[in-house]
Structure 1
Amino acid sequence: MTQHTAARSQPDMIEFEARVATLRQTHPDSRIQSFEFAGHKYWLKQPERLAGAMKLLKDDPRRALQTEIQVLTGLAGKGAPVPRVMLSGDDFFVVEDAGKTVSSWLHASKSDSSVPFMDVLNDSAKALADLHALGLSHGRPALRDIGWQQGNVKFIDFEAAQQSRPLRYQQQRDLLVYLHSLYRYMGTEHAQIDAAIASYRRSGGEQNWLETQQRMRRWQWLRPLLKPLRNIGGKDLKPVYWVLWHFQRHR
């Protein structure tokens, strides 16, 4: 088996590889396993164990794992803010921890006023604009797929299904998914949501925001129909009204 490692000092890497090997031996059926090493947190990911009909319904787990490795290393090579792949092989890889997700920071802020949630939120919006400035897209930048720690943002779980579409379409979809996620998790906290979108716009996302607004004009006829559901619809339905409202309200 060929292993690829990120740049670290060799003595550390020998110990690191030994730790990972031990984890793989003691947790052979664990798809995702977190662990600490030298004061840092990492995640070991192994192929999903499929059984029965799922073997027919899902892609080959090893191939899916290799695709994920290729996506992460390729994005890192382009300067994208993604977790670094520390170690990888035919049937596993290890990435550095990306920090708590933005949705987790939001949950924590509800019981702890010292949590810098607006910093987290604005940093996530700026990072999305920076990703787009690199000529890249995420596919599903929901708050649960964006990590933050000490001011550093990392995107996780890139969605490859949209990569065949034109880049402008992908980036507009990114913005819509992100805005939908803001309303899904935050409800009608308009001031905070507006601040996050303002951070995206002034960080290089203005043109994409304007093009997305233009795209949404053809769907504004749905807004009156959705208005009765804006506070009582499901978690995925309610935000649709507010996304349309956002683009209609801002000129």
Structure 2
Amino acid sequence: MTNHDRHFDNPALQRQLDQFLADPDARIARLEDEGQTFWAKKAETLSLRWRLQKGDPMKAFRADVAGHHAFANAGVPVPDIAAEGENFIVTADCGPTLSHILVNRLGTEADRAKAFHVAGAELAKMHAKGLSHGRPAIKDMCWDGQSIVLLDFERYSPARNTPRGHMYDLIIFIHSIYGFVPKDTPEARSAADGYREADTTGTWDRAAAWCEKMRWLDPVTKPLQWGNRVGAMEFKAIPLTLKTFGVR
């Protein structure tokens, strides 16, 4: 259950939080003081046009918070909550995202491979608990050098806590890696190995069977895979994702 009356004892951090909450255009803010870093988030403020296109932002925000609490209660690694209210949540910083690490090649190749291996294993362990993230892209996973922490649960729904939901999670996870770097990499292989080694629910095999049925996606989207236009990376990731699940 969300506690609607949690704020900072630290006045400097509370002032930053108050400024963030008072800004109608702000959605995410970095709060810092004395070496501590936190991230504040609230529901988007959308025009009628964007509400019609993107849906109710408060509904998405509440799903995010509900997912955060559900995962924390199940022992899934999520950021510690430092403050929260009816329309905001503040969480502790947990290191760079996997997407940032991959794109900017942070650390050694072995360091990156380890991070992605742990991410795959952590996702499999989450599925073994019966939970689905909804969109476990690598931009929603942080690495502090030792452990993976999951973020952003706007797509969370108890209705997705099914074997099919786990399967889609896994495919989204692998596809998201190639969406940032559209080629075979040690990081992508390590992520796949990490999941397979920790998979106790048969999710990898279900994903492989689904990808085999969807092999037609590659030839159909070939024209969209060409070039460097906006959105092309997601289409370039399709054949790599299918190949990872054994489609030849």
TM-score range, shorter chain: 0.7 to 0.9
Larger Rg: 1
Q: Which AA in structure 1 matches 2:19?
A: T
Q: Is 1:232 aligned to 2:233, yes or no?
A: no
Distance 2:233 2:90 in 1: 33
Matches within 5 A, 1:80-229: 80-109=76-105, 113=108, 116-160=111-155, 163-165=158-160, 167-204=162-199, 207-223=202-218, 225=219
Determine the C-alpha separation between the residues in 1 that align with 2:59 and 2:212. 41
Distance 1:230 1:194, change over 3 A: farther
Please give the residue correspondences for 1:29-44 in structure 2 after superposition, counting only pairs within 5 Å.
29=23, 30-44=26-40
Gaps of at least 5 residues in structure 2 are none
Tell me if structure 2 keeps the 8 A contact 1:34–1:44: yes
1:171 and 1:98 map into 2 onto residues whose CA distance is 24
- Name the SS of the counterpart of 2:134 in structure 1: coil
How many corresponding residue pairs? 239
Q: Retained in 2: the 8 A contact 1:32–1:43?
A: yes
Q: Where do 5+ consecutive residues of structure 1 fail to align?
A: 6-12
1:120-160 Cα deviation digits (max 9, x unpaired): 11111111111111111111111111111121211111243
Structure 2 residue aligned with 1:8: none
Maintained 8 Å contact 1:41/1:96: yes
Cα 1:226–1:154, aligned 2, differ >3 Å: closer, same or farther? Answer: same
Show CA shifts across 1:228-248 (max 9, x none): 569736211121122222223
Q: Is the 8 A contact 1:109 1:115 kept in 2?
A: no
What is the match of residue 15 of structure 2? 22
Q: Give the drift of 1:55.
A: 5.7
- Shift of residue 209, structure 1, vs aligned partner: 0.5
Percent identity between the aligned chains?
25
CA distance in 1, matches of 2:40, 2:201: 38
Instruction: Report how far residue 76 of structure 1 moved.
Output: 0.5
The TM-score normalised by the length of structure 1 is: 0.80
8 Å CA contact 1:49–1:61 kept in 2: the answer is yes
Decide whether the 8 Å contact of 2:97 with 2:138 is kept in 1. Answer: yes
Higher RCO (CA 8 Å, separation ≥ 6 residues): 2
Cα drift, residue 166 of structure 1? 6.0
CA distance in 2, matches of 1:187, 1:34: 30
How much has 1:63 moved relative to structure 2? 5.3
SS of the equivalent of 2:38 reads: strand
- Alpha-carbon shift at residue 249 of structure 1 (Å): 5.2
Residue 47 to residue 214, structure 1, CA distance change in 2 (3 Å) = closer
TM-score, normalization by structure 2: 0.81
Kept after mapping to 1: 8 A contact 2:42/2:87: yes
Which residue does 1:246 correspond to in 2? 244
Q: State how far apart, in whole Å, the 2-side matches of 1:49 and 1:23 are.
A: 19
